[in-house]
Structure 1
Amino acid sequence: MALFRFTKYFKIELLFFIVYFYVFRFLTDLEYNFWERKITGIAAKEIEYSILYGTVNIIAYSFFYKIVRQYLKTKRLLQFLLLIVLFLFCYSIFQKATDFLFYHLSFISKENRDFAYKAYMSKSIGYSFAYIFKEWLAVSCLAYFIYSDQQNEQMKVLKEQQLMSEIKYLKAQLHPHFFFNTLNNIYSLALKQAKETAPLIAKLAEMMRYILYHTNDKLVSLQDEIAFIQNYVEVERIRYRSAINIDFDTQGITAESKISPLLLLPFIENAFKHGIEDELVNGFVKIIVCESENELSFEVSNSIAGHKKAKGGIGLENLNKRLQILYPGKHKLEVSDHEDVYHVNLTLKLK
């Protein structure tokens, strides 16, 4: 197992410490030299100093960063305060130890070795409280940012898992409902020994294959979805023969467009089952699917038998839930229920 995992958060943390403790020191020296000393550039000893003590601070404040991260996870204030006190004590010892080390490293410039010696011999605790609080604030902001972003990511994952569980539940309701209706169609034709029985079974097999191998995906090709709907319409066309006028029209469908599987079927299923099932003459179903500028327009109209009132059925209840989950704020559904015509108009932004 690798010592470090170069995750998104590790890269952010690494970038922060490099920029804050190295780059900002260099920029500060450049600005000071330009405005106060009237010179451009940075001397070698200044670069060396920034690297030496920048590294010291990166090591020290990495431990403080871990302390803050631990507090954000546990919310144990007393433990946090005790660790802060311990950090201050250890930081003072660490500063003295590094000053002692730098003084004895021969490859360091004489100016920086002299500075390290003076700091080591000083009776001070080795740091300024005002300065250290500034560093604490910056590092704490990083820790809180990482913690908040991780919380948001976890919440997003949980919502997606909940979403997928609910969609699977809705699909589980949809599949038996759909096949029950279609098998009823086949049964009624078989009783009549109609020649359309075999083609109807072949169409059903194609639809079952689509459901088995494609509907577990989050998105499917819009063209494949329409081909599935076309099979369903052909099944109903065979069932009703010439008694019902069935129109199915598509316009502008592109190969790149994707849609959530089985999203449109409940509307069409509803038109046949709850709309024209009792019609004997003059009944109709009209379906129009149109794509334009990455937006889908879907219309279904069906006649209603004079003695029967249109109703939504299980499929439409499930569909409304799926639309709210999959296309929040990206769909518009209009349903009009007149005395003899039921009309549905759905528009949604394709993914």
Structure 2
Amino acid sequence: MKATHFKIDRKYFWVELSFLLFLSFGVSLISDLEYSTYEQHDITRFAEDIGYRLITGSFSLLTYAIYYLAFLKRYVFGRKVVGIILCSVGFVIIDQLIYKFPTNWVIIHTDLVSNSLKKRAVVDLLRPHIIFMFNYRVIRSIIPLIGLAFLIRSLTQEREMKELKEQQLVSELNYLKAQLHPHFFFNTINNIYALALKQSVQTAPMIARLGEMMRYILYEADQPTVPLSRELTFLSDYIAVEKIRHQAHIDIQFDVQGIRSDYRMEPLLLLPFIENAFKHGLEEETKNGFVHIVICQTDQDLTLQVSNSVPQPVKKTGVSGIGIQNVRKRLDILYPDKYQLDINETPKLYEVNLILTNP
């Protein structure tokens, strides 16, 4: 990841700010509480140095924030080891300079600090040399802040990977749906063509139904989800087209039970199973073929049951087809471990049972 990719992320900003506040004020407060309790035997005495801790903590917060947000985090995200080392050395030097001059000056000129601490600040301020405590700063500040930067980078990368996977899933779903659309229209146009050759009076109504289905696919089915009632209207139009195409003695039944008005689902998810039943179940049937479709919803799940006759002798056309292959992939993406698909085939019956767990 390049350093230019770094930015302050609102999602983790409050975590970082809380950590900086704890490092600046919380650690010292805990240390004072422990000293007052175990050394002075009076826990309330930690309040005697509260003003001093507020001043030193405020300066520490400023230097920590600049060091972490402006330099360290950028180099950690960019995996710049030399940058991490140089900015850390610079932090120790600048932190000690700030403590010696501005911090001591404020301590001396404020009424929040006891006289003993003021005298100590005067001595430190007038001392001609500066003591750079690298070991203390590395343990007390640098290692925790580097650890925080690596944690935030890890969380950010994990989130970006998750977003990338989601984008890939959306792209794959769109690709599968794009495959399904021409496949559906190809089959339906073939049906209309067959009726037109016979000069059937049902050709015009069939074209009108197809227009409604095209409108749904082009303008509504590109959404992530649609109301189940709208999907059922589309399926009803499709089945009506199939009833027009097939003879009256073909048994076609469509039953819907217990549909919730607020339930939404992915568009065109059920169509391939129904389309497959008509295409392969009645393609060669001329006498007593059937297609029975039941869609039932309960509080727990949505069930689709499609059964159709198997023409005798059946042609080896590959019953699964592109539609069924696509819908299996879509189910794996949309309902991982939340669906059950059973396909049973006998010499005279082909049956599909799909159960989708309600969200």
8 Å CA contact retained: 1:119, 1:126: no
Runs of 4+ in 1 over 6 A off after TM superposition: none
Map 1:67-86 → 2, pairs under 5 A: 67-86=71-90
Residue number among 42, 48, 53 corresponding to 1:50 in the alignment: 53
Seen in structure 2, the aligned counterparts of structure 1 residues 110 and 321 have a Cα distance that, compared at 3 Å, is same
Matching residue of 1:16: 19
How far residue 46 of structure 1 moved from its aligned partner, in angstroms, is 2.5
| Mapped partners of 1:70, 1:101: distance in 2 | 32
AA aligned to 2:118 is R
1:122-173 Cα shifts (integer Å, max 9, x gaps): 5562547246413333322321221111111111121122111111111111
For this pair of structures, how many residues does the alignment match? 348
Distance 1:137 1:81 in 2: 11
Equivalent residue in structure 2 for 1:177, among 178, 183, 190: 183
Q: Distance in 2 between matches of 1:166 and 1:33?
A: 63
Alignment equivalent of 2:98, drawn from 88, 94, 114: 94
User: Which of 289, 292, 312 does residue 320 from structure 2 map onto?
Assistant: 312
Worse-superposed segment, 260-269 or 85-94: 85-94
Trace 1:208-287 onto structure 2 (pairs within 5 A): 208-287=214-293
**Structure 1 residue aligned with 2:207:** 201
Structure 2 residue aligned with 1:188: 194
On the 8 A contact 1:99/1:120 being kept in 2, the answer is no
Q: Does 1:332 align with 2:340?
A: yes
- Residue by residue over 1:36-94, the C-alpha shift from the partner in whole angstroms, topping out at 9 and shown as x without a partner, is 54545466553222221111221222244244423332223233223322222222222
What is the SS of the residue equivalent to 1:75? coil
Indicate the residue corresponding to 1:65 in structure 2: 68
- The whole-number CA distance in structure 2 between the counterparts of 1:42 and 1:332 is 67
- Give the Cα–Cα distance (whole angstroms) in 1 for the partners of residues 45 and 230 of structure 2: 65
Which runs of 5 or more structure 2 residues have no equivalent in the other structure? 1-6
Shift of 1:314: 1.1
Measured in 2, the distance between the counterparts of 1:306 and 1:265 equals 25
| Alpha-carbon displacement from aligned partner over 1:220-278 (angstroms, at most 9, x marks no partner) | 11221122111111111111142321121222211222211111111111111122211
Contact 1:335 / 1:343 at 8 angstroms: preserved in 2? Answer: yes
- TM-score, normalization by structure 2: 0.87
- One of 114, 119, 123 as aligned partner of 2:119: 114
How many angstroms apart in 2 are the aligned matches of 1:9 and 1:345?
46
Aligned to 1:256, the other structure's residue is in SS state coil
Superposition deviation, residue 177 in structure 1: 1.0
- Change in 2 beyond 3 A, CA 1:256/1:27: farther
Distance of aligned partners of 1:19 and 1:9 in 2 relative to their CA distance in 1, 3 Å threshold: same
In 2, the alpha carbon distance for the partners of 1:276 and 1:323 equals: 26
- 2:306–2:351: 8 Å Cα contact kept in structure 1? yes
- 1:304 and 1:342 in contact (8 A); partners too: yes
Q: Is the 8 A contact 1:103 1:114 kept in 2?
A: no
Q: 1:138 to 1:211 in 2, by over 3 A?
A: same
Residue equivalent to 1:158: 164
Aligned alpha-carbon RMSD (Å): 2.5
Q: What are structure 1's unaligned runs of at least 5 residues?
A: none
